[in-house]
A and B are shown apart, each in its own frame.
Chain A
């Protein structure tokens, strides 16, 4: 039975705004901004130049190493320009601007049905790798890397992450309702790739329809089991989810495979299914567009490269008092300074918040109330860490395990002094990494 992890918070979820809306397919926009590097790890290398004609599914950037993944053209058309464009992560990133020719013509070898019953683990891994599949929950870690554990770290459980614990978002929820069979088929492929016959579909209890759907489909399926999870943020964080389901703790600084578990987002499983069964690389994803700032909230199937502006327009536009636009959810997402960013493989949602929904505070000194300690799912001391980071005492921050922070934001959510704790921790982690690089 699912146990709870330590800490966590219970924010207002506001999921009802979009969760009842079926996935709508976004029509082809006038231009696509496709970032060359869309994964955690080594950046990908562009292989196209301005003026090139590209087909749908054609590789436009190749994986820049093992921990990297390739990027494909989401439609057929012409590369208008290559340059640095605003991206959802907040910095400008190199991207190709593709003007679609409207034909949506596939590159040779793609979009063909394939018999997946006899695929070997190695074949599955190379399909996943070639399709440029990354973790679609938002972390964008290349999936084929997760499917290649070292021999001495056997994995015995595959967890499908359908927790979707971020407030407002419902893209995974909708996908589980509308593409459940495909998700399960993708999951059994991934399980086969790592030779695991124990698959758990983890869904938070606030999605009873998705739980029911998955349960009805997995009845009689060998090895599959659906687990209804407590609704507590961050239930869907990898380490917390593994602990909730297996009772195993991922050792600090380690990967989930050290706890014998592989976690895959349900969207990633769907992408794996499409790649294997239909030979389609990862070209599109479901994006929840929601918040009181958007006129018509919904779940949009958008191509990678669709600009936020086009999506907002497709959803009826934004209201005048929209104060903040977030790529991702309100707990871990990144605030956007314009609508020029485009959907990447990790964009699970676009949340538009109005003035009265956004937390706007002046930050004050820590009063050591300790609320952050009671909610930190990593059992850290965010109060002390915040003070160390603020005073640039990074060595002490490291001693207090700042590197184990998962940046879930629970501490800052409950902080009565409204301290920008996550910002402090991100800074401290970056500084410590920089120093250890210098030293090493």
Chain B
């Protein structure tokens, strides 16, 4: 009895409250021996190592959410309530769907791992400001229930849940998904506008060549985020700051973002050199669309991207190539989401072919 109480105490004293002492079960069974030292009766027995650095899945998710906050807050600054509403609905509905799905499937509650909040936030950042509530909820349903829980939950999903949500909406509701709001302080103007990539595509279609200025001021506006677009994709500087933070914290590595953004720049650069009247400046390509958001926060999703350093570079370059192909030759002005999802499918294969050499591998 006394042991049982102690076991319970131990549980409540745990860090983060996330982990449960499974050894409790041991202390619940009274040990039948003549004379048992009560301290010894509750010795924990488990495999080595017996210490841990304390980092948890929830801790990592928190860091990623923290890294996304500047970009999210900036979107509220330029799109106001239109952005805030989408973010709140998305995170809330993602949590509800996560809870419901686990409940229906009779699996342990998982919302405390933080992955549902992150998926909700990422989906919101990939939607246009002012998206109607039903659009957002449809998106989180496909993200959380279909793309994630149907496959077994966190760790088992082959495709990035937030991107599945976005792409389902993009192909099902193209009108709502391409209605953009022009930036204004706190979003009070609410004037519709086009995205830079969208207007470039339009001018190409109408005139047969690109007609647009791309000066220092345009670059500055793109860096700051003074343009139309999805909620979280506009401010390059803040996304970059979040990415550098995650790299410094060793949450992500540089491999995928660098190879993804780098290959988009190089390939669009080659096309630009061939024919600048048809193909836009590579720097324009890099700074527009959802490239930074996708390359730093979506393509680096652990579960759906390769685990080896070489594999990550292959993955990032594949994403870059597909993104450029869709942007230049596809029907959609933007291709980051499709590119990442297609490469998600190739992830197991990439991992297999980029296996690391064991220390001391015999060459013969």
Contacts and interface: CB of A to CB of B under 8 A. Distances in A.
Interface in A311-336: 318, 320, 322-326, 330-336
A328 to B, nearest CB: 8
A140 interface: no
Interface stretch (B15-23, B86-94, B186-194, B335-343): B15-23
B51 A359 contact: yes
A335 B44 contact: yes
B210 interface: no
Instruction: Count chain A CB atoms within 10 A of each CB in B23, B57, B152 and give the residue with the most.
Output: B57
Contacts of A409: 48-49
A423 B47 contact: yes
Given A250-B360, A252-B361, A338-B40, A362 B46 contact: no
A390 B13 CA distance: 29
B13 A416 contact: no
A422 B48 CA distance: 7
Contacts of B37: 339
A360 B358 contact: no
B278 interface: no
Given A361-B52, A362-B22, A414-B55, A380 B358 contact: yes
B153 interface: yes
Interface in B326-361: 351, 355-361
Main secondary structure of the interface of B (DSSP, over half): loop
B32 interface: no
Nearest to B347: A368
Contact of B60 (A9, A167, A254, A369): A369
A381 B44 contact: no
B56 A167 contact: no
Interface residues of B, number: 52
A137 to B, nearest CB: 15
Contacts of B54: 359
For chain A, which range describes its interface: under 10, 10 to 19, 20 to 34, or 35 or more residues? 35 or more
Nearest to A375: B53
A115 B219 CA distance: 84
B275 interface: no
A318 B19 contact: no
B307 interface: yes
Contacts of A243: 359
A418 B43 contact: no
A394 interface: no
A239 B307 contact: no
Given A323-B42, A365-B155, A400-B355, A249 B49 contact: no
A426 B47 contact: yes
Contact of A417 (B43, B57, B356): B57
A365 B40 contact: no
Given A251-B360, A252-B361, A364-B57, A358 B51 contact: yes
A436 B360 CA distance: 22
B19 A338 contact: no
Contacts of B156: 365
- List the 7 shortest-distance A-B pairs measured between CB atoms, nearest first: A365-B155, A409-B49, A423-B47, A359-B52, A361-B19, A249-B360, A330-B50
Given A239-B360, A322-B39, A359-B54, 19 more contacts: A249-B359, A249-B360, A332-B48, A332-B49, A335-B43, A353-B50, A360-B23, A361-B18, A361-B52, A361-B56, A365-B156, A368-B303, A379-B357, A407-B48, A413-B49, A415-B52, A416-B56, A416-B60, A426-B47
7 contacts: A90-B45, A358-B51, A362-B18, A364-B155, A365-B154, A373-B307, A418-B19
